[in-house]
Amino acid sequence: MAFIRINRKIFDNFLWKENRVYSRFEAWIDLIQLMCYKKEGDEKIINGVVVRFKRGQYPVSYSFLSQRWNWSIHKVRIFINLLKSEKQASTETTNVTTILTLINYDTYNPISQAEGQAEGQADGKRTAIRKEYIEYKEDFKEEINKEEILKEKLEDEKMYQEKQDRFKQWLLDTPIEEL
C-alpha cells in the first residue's frame, strides 16, 4: 500500500489555517487529523464530564464542525450522513456529546510495526524514568522532612538554652533580698 506520510504540524501551517469554506475533501482530511491517533485512546472534559474515546474517534458536535469548516449545520449533517452511508464513519451519541468514529481510520493513519515497537520502547523508558524520578522525589521529600525536623529540634534546643541563659543571668543580676 502506498501512502504519503504527513506530519501533524502541517495543520498548524498558515495555509491550512486560512479562513475559508472547506471542500468535502478538506473536511475529510480534517476529520482524519482530528481523530485520536494514540493507541491507548484519550479523554477530554466536556461540560464538566470526562469523555473517553479510542483511536480513530473524536467527540464532535455539528456546530463545532460547522464553525471549523465554515459550513451550515445542515451541510455538516449531510456530509456526516454521507460518510455513514458509505461506511466511512459512525456516530455514537452520549448524554454529553457525539463520538464520531472513522471506520477505516487505520487505513488512513496506520501504526507501523517499527513505530509500535519504538513507541513501546519509548513508553518503557519513560515509565522507568518516571518511576526513578518519583522514587528520587520521595527520597528528597523525606530528606527535607528530616532536615526540617532537625532544624525544629535545634531551634527548640537553642530557645531552651537561651531561656536557661536568661534565667541564670536574672538570678545573677537579682539581689538576694528580691528573691
Reported as a single tens digit per residue, the pLDDT across 19-38 is 999 999 999 999 999 999 99
**pTM to 2 decimals?**
0.61
Tens-digit pLDDT profile for residues 64-123? 999 999 999 999 999 999 999 999 999 999 999 999 999 999 988 888 655 555 555 666
Quickly list H helices, the chain.
14-17, 24-34, 62-69, 73-85, 105-108, 113-173
**Do both 82 and 43 map to the same domain?**
yes
Other C-beta atoms lying within 10 Å of the C-beta of residue 36: 20
Indicate the pLDDT class of residue 50, thresholds 50, 70 and 90.
very high
CATH of residue 88's domain is 1.10.10.10
Domain that holds residue 148: 113-178
What pLDDT, on the 0 to 100 scale, is given for residue 52? 94
CA atoms of 66 and 74, how far apart (whole Å): 9
Q: Is 96 exposed, middle or buried (0-12, 13-18, 19+ CB in 10 A)?
A: middle
Alpha carbon distance, N-terminus to C-terminus of the chain: 103
Cα separation of 102 and 89, whole Å? Answer: 4
